């Protein structure tokens, strides 16, 4: 698959199974994460690779956060199983760094670019994935349990694995619906 085809046909896939990325594939995914726009060279991203027993540990973190922060019962009931939806997750974090020329939003955007780059690298290697956020990306308890500061942003949880179903062709949006010339 060439780069243009990858960009024009990508779509998230939440139907993931084993195997997850092997060591070689993970290294490519990690290298892709580090090749994103980075104003000021701050490298405003950190990552947690979660697999094997780490998925159970993350499920426990989610569960404790949901209970501690008094979430709805349906969220508490699902919390432990969420990391089991894929053989590997990568948690992307943007640790905020004060900088006179690089505002917080640009640091978060750089970390977000890293998530997309990792997902594209997975797709290019025959894997699939889905980028999730939601309550557990905003939870102060999750941040604390991961050793993060309150001002750090969990940009997302990238679930990675082998696709279990053939995705249908994505809807082709028309550029003229989204682009305007000035």
Binding residues for FMN: 10-12, 39, 131-133
Note the pLDDT tens digit of each residue in 70-81. Answer: 999 999 999 999
Note the pLDDT tens digit of each residue in 36-84. Answer: 999 999 999 999 999 999 999 999 999 999 999 999 999 999 999 999 9
166 or 26, greater pLDDT? 26
Two structure tokens written together for 110: 């750089």
The Cα–Cα gap between 116 and 8 comes to 14
For residue 3, give Cα distances in angstroms to 9, 117, 143: 10, 12, 35
For residue 74, give Cα distances in angstroms to 3, 63, 129, 134: 41, 11, 24, 14
Note the pLDDT tens digit of each residue in 84-117. Answer: 999 999 999 999 999 999 999 999 999 999 999 9
**The pLDDT of residue 80:** 98
SS3 label, residue 156: strand
* pTM for this model (two decimals): 0.94
Domains of the chain from N-terminus onward? 17-47+85-165 (3.40.109.10)
Q: Flag whether pLDDT at 170 surpasses 70.
A: no
Binding residues: 10-12, 39, 131-133
The Cα–Cα gap between 35 and 167 comes to 28
Rg, the chain, Cα only: 17
Q: Flag whether pLDDT at 31 surpasses 90.
A: yes
The Cα–Cα gap between 142 and 46 comes to 15
* Residue located via tokens 């508490």: 76
For the chain, the maximum distance between any two Cα atoms, rounded to a whole number of angstroms, is 53
């Amino acid at each position: 698959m060439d780069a243009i085809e990858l960009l024009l046909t990508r779509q998230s896939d939440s139907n993931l199974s084993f195997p997850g990325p092997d060591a070689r594939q993970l290294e490519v995914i990690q290298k892709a994460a580090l090749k994103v726009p980075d104003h000021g060279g701050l490298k405003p991203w950190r990552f947690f690779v979660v697999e094997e027993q780490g998925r159970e540990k993350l499920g426990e973190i989610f569960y404790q956060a949901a209970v501690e922060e008094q979430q709805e019962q349906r969220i508490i009931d699902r919390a432990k199983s969420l990391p089991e939806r894929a053989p590997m997750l990568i948690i992307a974090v943007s640790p905020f760094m004060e900088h006179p020329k690089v505002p917080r939003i640009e640091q978060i955007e750089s970390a977000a670019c890293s998530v997309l780059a990792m997902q594209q690298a997975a797709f290019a290697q025959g894997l699939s994935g889905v980028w999730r956020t939601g309550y557990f990306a905003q939870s102060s308890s999750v941040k604390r349990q991961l050793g993060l500061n309150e001002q750090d942003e969990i940009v997302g949880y990238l679930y990675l694995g082998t696709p279990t179903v053939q995705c249908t062709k994505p809807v082709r949006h028309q550029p003229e619906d989204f682009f305007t010339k000035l």
